[in-house]
Amino acid sequence: MMTEMVVAMPLVLAGEQGLFHIPSPGEVRVQAISREDHETDWPFSVDDGMLTCVWSGGRKVAMFFEGRPKGLDEGKPFEPRGVIVTTDPMQLTLGNMANRELFKPAASVEERMRLVAPFAALGQRLCDQPAGARVGHGEL
């Protein structure tokens, strides 16, 4: 018992969660984002979605989830795809393999990193908001 407390104490003091922490809905931070007509450096293959901050692997991670397609009936189920928004090339490529088509095609990993970088910074600012924050369009 004492060992567990000693291991957990730095995490508690730092405000971090353990490696296997499952976040509650109240811990997630979200902001709606969408591509403007003149925006050429939009990194995603869909025009709108939600930028989120969630706990993963004991740390806060920025993610993008696609929005519900406009032509989809309200009664039809929809499970949005999501990708990690980061400038870490390993997470950006390997961590997003399952949903990589959610990114628009890029000539190289470096180009994708350049396109994603502003959204990664925005995601980190979102992660700095209080738990449960829902930030309006353009508030960060």
Cβ neighbours of residue 14 under 8 Å, at least 6 residues apart? none
Position 3 in a domain: no
What is the reported pLDDT for 86?
94
Number of structural domains (the chain) is 1
Q: Label residue 23 by pLDDT band (50, 70, 90).
A: low
Does 140 map to a domain? no
Q: Is residue 103 in some structural domain?
A: yes
Give the C-alpha separation, 70 to 111, whole Å.
29
**Whole-structure pTM value:** 0.77
Neighbours of 31 (CB within 10 A): 21
Query: Does residue 10 register a pLDDT over 50?
Result: no
Within a domain: 54? yes
For 112-127, the pLDDT digits (tens) are: 999 999 999 999 999 8
Is 4 contained in some domain? no
pLDDT, tens only, 26-82: 677 888 999 998 888 999 999 999 999 987 777 889 999 999 888 888 889 999 999
Amino acid in the structure at residue 63: M
Choose among 57, 66, 47, 51: nearest CA to 20. 57
Cα three-residue angle 92-97-100, rounded to 5 degrees: 75
**Mean pLDDT throughout 15-33?**
69
Rounded Cα gap, residues 44 and 35, in angstroms: 9
Q: Which residue segment(s) compose the domain that 118 sits in? A: 18-135
